[in-house]
Amino acid sequence: MQTRLESPAVIALLAAIGLFLCSLANALSRETRDPSQLIYWLGVLLIAVPIFLRLTSSGPSYRERLGLVLLLGLALYGVKIVHDAPLFTLSDEYIHAFNIHQIEKYDHLYHFNPAISTSPYYPGLEGATSALTMLTGASTYLCGTILVGAARLVQMAALFFLFARLSGSARGAGIGVAVYTGTSNFLFWGAQFSYESLSLPLVCVVLMAFVEREEAPPRLRGAWAVPIVLGILAITITHHLSSYALAIIFVALAVLYRVMRVEKPNPWPFAVLAVGSAAAWLLIAAESTTGYLFPVLENALEAIYETAFGDTEARQLFGSPSDTAEAVAGTPIGARAIALLAIAVLGVISLVGLRQVWRRERRNPLAIIFCAFTVAFFAALMLRFAPAAWETGNRAGGYFFIGLSFVAIYGTAQLLRRGPRLMRRRLLLTGALAVVLVGGAISGWSWDLQLARPLKASADGKDIFSEPLALAEFASQRLDGSRFAGPEADARILLHPGGQVAFGGQGPDIEDIVDEPQLRDWQLPLLERNHLPFLVADRRLLSEDTLRGQYFSVKDQYGNELRPKGVVHKFSEIPVGRVWQGGRIVLFNLRDRP
């Protein structure tokens, strides 16, 4: 009976049922029925727990374990898809989808993006997706989802091969990959259509190829250099932070090989290539990256200093990452407890694992680096207390977690030794892995956003749109190629699917123009200087929230708090033309006047 329940077909069926439960919970939420999140979490657990349990067994073959981790990656990616389909809804997705729109429009890369000006200079993801959109004629959403899905499968397989080669255990490799799914960005943020969703899997491939090369006979070392070199180059043009992370890893490896006098070829050529290509790309093509990244890192460092010395109040954990003023549902106590328990579980596993890795693998430089990553992961958790540094810590966690997952293989190995009560110990480990997965998902994504919100709805068999989406559809059909200023949520959806050049946020300072109820002297000249004739005035308090501001407002739930009437009236009183009016949103044309 137990064997049957653990057969791959049954596990696949349970994963499919789990995915359906997730989809059902999201559907109920889109129907604005405010369903219990228990359905959703039950679905996530139904996907993961049978796979975790099977991975802890000594029964499966190498190929079966690989199949299980691929199923795990695919099904958990499905959780993100059933949350969003058939439209991009995560804040960075609009930006990268707009880049594809620009590539299709101009047939070339590097065209301007008003939201993140550096993003067109890292066109790996968009260039790759454009191949699919152009060859198939299919939507950006479908092609982007397929491409990120392929990258996700590659990542799962690469981690499995990497861990299997390093630890010498397929069982351990499967558990290591299972632990990796507990990284806080795995379920949503890391699965979005964004450059890191391609670059991070490629980093895993390069690391895996490097380890295979180290173990390969000399005649095959050249062959394994091919994916390493191509990977380094592809990552360089895909994502800045990933290319820097990879460069740091290779430099550290080259130094450790030298210091530890490893009797294998020093990987300095790869370090030179990784550092050289990242630096060259930064200097030649992507100069704006410094202006984009350095302020973020500077703010993070400042926040750490100020929080540490009490100049700034520490950030409240499980608070909304958004700066919206509208109150959102807080994370329940039980969920917070699971998230904290997950950290505790990882802490215990890491402590045991670090000791074991040090005893058994301390002659392996990559294992040393992974140990350092494990320590760095827990150090990065401290950044979550600093208001401007939590995102930096959260993003870095995705890389550090690779090392932690490797160390966890050794930390969990003790539990799976042959002996009495093995089944109990397997169940205990399965439970711990489930806690890590769910805890990571809770700490990585706001509680109120775990379930989908309505962006499109049906009424009498026809589709109706939320107000920002209706504006974007109008702009797409009637104002092609225009330039807009607006609150950030509206600006993002005007980028895609609107296909317009839409500015929001603070560079230039559109945020104050659209959020303040009074018209200041500097505001119209700034709009004129930046050639922004179309202005979106939005009374919804959520309009600056790029994760929540694009949906329907729902009675007694969200989207109901408003800014003062002045945010709209100040433009009416100039006076200027009003092009489009929905409920709370008005589109003005500043060049249409008496």
Partner 1 sequence: MRGHRDLQRACLAAVACALVAALAPWEIVRLAAALPLTLFLPGYAIVAAAFGSRELAAPKRAMLSVALSLMTLALGAFVLNIFPFGLETASWAVLLPLVVIAACRGAALRRERPQRGRDARPALPRPVAGSLVLGALAVAIALGALALAEKPLPAENAKGFTALWMLPTDEREDVVAIGVDSNQHDPHSYRLRVSLGKDQSKTYRVELDPGEERVYEVDVPPRPSGRTHVVASLYRAGKPQKLYRRVTSWLPRQMTFP
For residues 121-160, which are near partner 1 according to CB under 8 A?
123-128, 130-132, 134-138, 142, 146-147, 150-151, 153-154, 157-158
Binding of residue 326 to partner 1 (CB under 8 A) = no
Which of residues 131 and 372 has its CB atom nearest to partner 1 in the complex?
A: 131
Report whether 417 contacts 356 (CB < 8 A).
no
Q: At its nearest, how many Å lie between partner 1 and the CB of residue 379? A: 31
Cβ closer to partner 1: 19 or 407? 19
439 or 487, CB closer to partner 1? Answer: 487
Does the protein bind partner 1 through residue 552 (CB under 8 A)?
Answer: yes
Task: Compare residues 333 and 459 and give the one whose CB is closer to partner 1.
Answer: 459
Scanning 107-115, 319-327, 342-350, 389-397 for contacts with partner 1 by CB under 8 A, the matching segment is 107-115
Residues 110, 268, 292, 378: which binds partner 1 (CB under 8 A)?
110
Interaction mask 31-70, partner 1, x per CB under 8 A: xx-----------------------------xx--x----
Cβ-in-10-Å burial (0-12, 13-18, 19+) of 463 comes to exposed
Residue 521 within binding range of partner 1, rule CB under 8 A: no
- Give min distance, CB of 519 to partner 1, in A: 10
- Could you say whether residue 485 binds partner 1 (CB under 8 A)? no
Among 109, 254, 408, 451, indicate the residue that binds partner 1 (CB under 8 A): 109
Position 530 contacts partner 1 (CB under 8 A): no
What is the Cα–Cα distance from 560 to 583, expressed in whole angstroms?
A: 12
Measured distance between the N- and C-terminal CA atoms of the chain, rounded to whole angstroms: 81
SS3 463: strand
What is each CA distance from 377 to 75, 146, 392, 394, 594, in whole angstroms? 26, 30, 12, 9, 60
Q: Tell me whether residue 168 or residue 222 sits nearer to partner 1 (CB atom).
A: 222
SS3 431: helix
Q: Are strands 534-538 and 483-485 parallel, antiparallel or unpaired?
A: parallel
Q: Does 524 bind partner 1 (CB under 8 A)?
A: yes
Q: Does 557 sit near partner 1 (CB under 8 A)?
A: yes
Residues 209-268 that bind partner 1 (CB under 8 A): 209, 212, 220, 222-224, 226-227, 230-231, 233-234, 237-238
Nearer to partner 1, 122 or 373 (CB): 122
**Residue 474 touching partner 1 (CB under 8 A):** yes
How many residues touch partner 1 under the rule CB under 8 A: the total is 124
Listed residue (159, 178, 349, 365) closest to 259, CA to CA = 365
Question: Residue length, the chain?
Answer: 594
Least CB distance from residue 344 to partner 1, whole Å?
Answer: 33
- Binding to partner 1 by residue 10, rule CB under 8 A? yes
- Given a contact cutoff of 8 angstroms between Cβ atoms, the answer to whether 534 and 511 are in contact is no
CA angle 86, 91, 96 (to 5 degrees): 75
User: What's the min distance (Å) between Cβ of 78 and partner 1?
Assistant: 7
**Inter-residue contact 54 to 6 (CB < 8 Å):** yes
- Determine the interface stretch with partner 1 among 102-110, 307-315, 353-361, 393-401 (rule: CB under 8 A): 102-110
Look up residue 240 and give its two tokens.
């800045």
Binding region for partner 1 (CB under 8 A) out of 199-207, 241-249, 309-317, 492-500? 199-207
Q: Which of residues 431-460 bind partner 1 (CB under 8 A)?
A: 452, 454, 456-460
What residue type is 405 in one-letter code? S
Q: Does 8 bind partner 1 (CB under 8 A)?
A: yes
CB of 114 to partner 1, least distance (A): 19
Q: Pick from 446, 533, 550, 570: which binds partner 1 (CB under 8 A)?
A: 533
Q: In the structure encoding, which two tokens stand for residue 500, read together?
A: 């317009």
Task: Name the helix (H) or strand (E) containing 536.
Answer: strand 534-538
For partner 1, the closer of residues 359 and 462 by Cβ is 462
Examine residue 26 and tell whether it contacts partner 1 (CB under 8 A).
yes
- What string marks each residue from 273 to 312 as x (binds partner 1 by CB under 8 A) or -? ----------------------------------------
5, 59, 86, 512: which one binds partner 1 (CB under 8 A): 86
Pinpoint the alpha helices (H) of 88-169. 91-106, 124-136, 140-167
Contact assessment for residue 115 and residue 91, using Cβ atoms and an 8 Å cutoff: no
Distance from C-alpha of 103 to C-alpha of 96, rounded to nearest angstrom: 11
Q: Are 199 and 281 in contact (CB under 8 A)?
A: no
Q: Which residues contact 534 (CB under 8 A, 6 or more apart)?
A: 479, 482, 483, 484, 485, 500, 579, 587, 588, 589, 590
| Contact (CB, 8 A) for 457 and 30 | yes
Provide, rounded to whole angstroms, the least separation between the CB of residue 37 and partner 1. 17
Using CA of residue 221, residue 227, residue 228, residue 229, what is the dihedral sign?
positive
Sign of the torsion angle spanned by Cα atoms 469, 473, 474, 479: positive
- Considering only residues 390 through 409, tell me which ones interact with partner 1, judged by CB under 8 A: none
- Joined tokens for residue 323: 């700066």
The one among 528, 564, 565, 569 contacting partner 1 by CB under 8 A: 528
Instruction: Tell me how far, at minimum, the Cβ of 207 lies from partner 1, in Å.
Output: 12
Strands 456-459 and 501-503: unpaired
**Nearest distance in Å: CB 397, partner 1:** 23
Question: Which one of the spans 24-32, 50-58, 317-325, 501-509 is the region binding partner 1 (CB under 8 A)?
Answer: 24-32
H helices present in 31-139, as ranges? 37-56, 62-84, 91-106, 124-136
The least CB distance from residue 113 to partner 1, in Å, is 16
Cβ-based nearer residue to partner 1, 238 or 443? 238
Q: Which of 276, 295, 564, 575 binds partner 1 (CB under 8 A)?
A: 575
CA distance linking residue 217 with residue 235, whole number of Å: 27
CB 163 within 8 A of CB 178: no
Token digits for 248?
């740091």
Residue 577 binds to partner 1 (criterion: CB under 8 A): yes
Q: Which amino acid is at 39?
A: I
